């Protein structure tokens, strides 16, 4: 999931607390809220979460018509009958499609993804090489409001089960500022208010939060939140964090993750990580 020096893999334990920490935490209702895993068992035919499709070598690529074509990568996408769509086809939700090509390690992401007799359409679409730190053009959205890739910020059951999560986790809140912090590329708000968190703001679980009473699997997630943190990537419900749509997520783990107080987090100043404005490589 991108090079080892990429922002998503940056260890933020030693970063200073952001000067806007108190205001941002207050704006997100942190004193009374708990984290909410936006994935897990649902009992339905479509697993709850954002699915990941691995397209085999030679998967045909097709044209996609975008609503926001001026900020979308207008190239053929490896979409087809095997492509998994968040919530299922015609679900009416965000309907993200996250596709990785097995032969070329490219990442394709679309939002509001639909297929009809006339072809594929989406609200927006973005493309990355998973071996590159290159960012999208500045001010461009992606399938996420922040202009960031979704895939590297998804908590995946396979990594939690293996006991090792090596990246930050994507999350949302309902009110954001009309600004963004590197490496985010885009904002999605009409509010000019520095007391609201901007896209790309990063939060870590404080080191003094006791994780010993949690299950080993929950501790794996909590250590990742302490080491790599959460990245604000889209507008949505406050303190909802995203994971993959895997039917194997245990109910007991999801229940434990719902008991993490938002007040145990703090915003960090990530400005010292930036090497170049056009690159996701981090110090």
Q: Report the alpha-carbon angle 247-216-36, nearest 5.
A: 55
Q: Where are the domains of the chain?
A: 7-49+132-273
pLDDT of the residue at 46:
81
**What does the pLDDT look like over 158-195, one tens digit per residue?**
999 999 999 999 999 999 999 999 999 999 998 999 99
**What does the pLDDT look like over 126-158, one tens digit per residue?**
999 999 999 999 999 999 999 999 999 999 999
Q: What percent of the chain has a predicted confidence (pLDDT) above 90?
A: 94
Number of CB atoms found within 10 A of residue 194's CB: 13
Q: Is the pLDDT of residue 45 over 90?
A: no
Quick check: helix, strand or coil at residue 213? coil
User: Quick check: 246 and 161 in contact, CB under 8 A?
Assistant: no
pLDDT of the residue at 42:
80
**What does the pLDDT look like over 84-115, one tens digit per residue?**
999 999 888 899 999 999 999 999 999 999 99
Q: What percent of the chain has a predicted confidence (pLDDT) above 70?
A: 100
**What does the pLDDT look like over 231-241, one tens digit per residue?**
999 999 999 99
**What does the pLDDT look like over 210-230, one tens digit per residue?**
999 999 999 999 999 999 999
Q: Is the pLDDT of residue 43 over 80?
A: no
| Rounded mean pLDDT, 242-260 | 96
**What does the pLDDT look like over 195-205, one tens digit per residue?**
999 999 999 99
Q: Using CA of residue 91, residue 65, residue 126, residue 98, what is the dihedral sign?
A: positive
pLDDT of the residue at 44:
73
| Rounded mean pLDDT, 13-20 | 98
Tell me which residue has tokens 């590197």: 182
Pair of tokens at residue 3: 């090079």
| Rounded mean pLDDT, 252-273 | 97
Q: Is the pLDDT of residue 256 over 90?
A: yes
- Cα–Cα distance, 62 to 76 (Å, whole number): 5
């Amino acid at each position: 999931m991108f090079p080892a020096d990429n922002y998503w893999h940056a260890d933020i334990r030693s970063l200073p607390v952001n000067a806007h920490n108190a205001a941002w935490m207050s704006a997100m209702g942190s004193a009374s809220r708990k984290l909410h895993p936006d994935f897990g068992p649902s009992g339905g035919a479509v697993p709850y979460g954002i699915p990941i499709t691995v397209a085999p070598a030679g998967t045909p690529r097709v044209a996609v018509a975008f609503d926001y074509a001026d900020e979308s990568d207008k190239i053929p996408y490896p979409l087809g009958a095997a492509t998994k769509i968040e919530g299922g086809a015609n679900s009416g939700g965000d309907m993200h499609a996250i596709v990785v090509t097995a032969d070329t390690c490219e990442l394709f992401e679309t939002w509001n993804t639909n297929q009809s007799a006339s072809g594929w359409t989406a609200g927006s679409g973005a493309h990355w090489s998973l071996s590159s730190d290159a960012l999208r053009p500045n001010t461009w959205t992606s399938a996420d409001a922040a202009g960031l890739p979704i895939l590297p910020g998804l908590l995946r059951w396979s990594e939690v089960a293996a006991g090792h999560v090596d990246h930050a986790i994507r999350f949302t809140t309902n009110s954001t500022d009309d600004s963004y912090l590197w490496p985010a590329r885009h904002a999605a708000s009409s509010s000019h208010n520095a007391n609201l968190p901007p896209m790309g703001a990063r939060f870590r679980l404080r080191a003094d939060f006791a994780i010993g009473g949690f299950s080993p699997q929950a501790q794996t997630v909590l250590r990742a939140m302490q080491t790599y943190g959460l990245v604000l990537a889209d507008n949505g419900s406050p303190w909802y964090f995203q994971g993959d749509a895997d039917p194997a997520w245990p109910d007991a783990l999801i229940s434990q993750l719902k008991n993490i107080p938002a007040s145990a987090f703090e915003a960090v100043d990530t400005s010292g990580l930036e090497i170049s404005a056009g690159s996701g490589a981090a110090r």
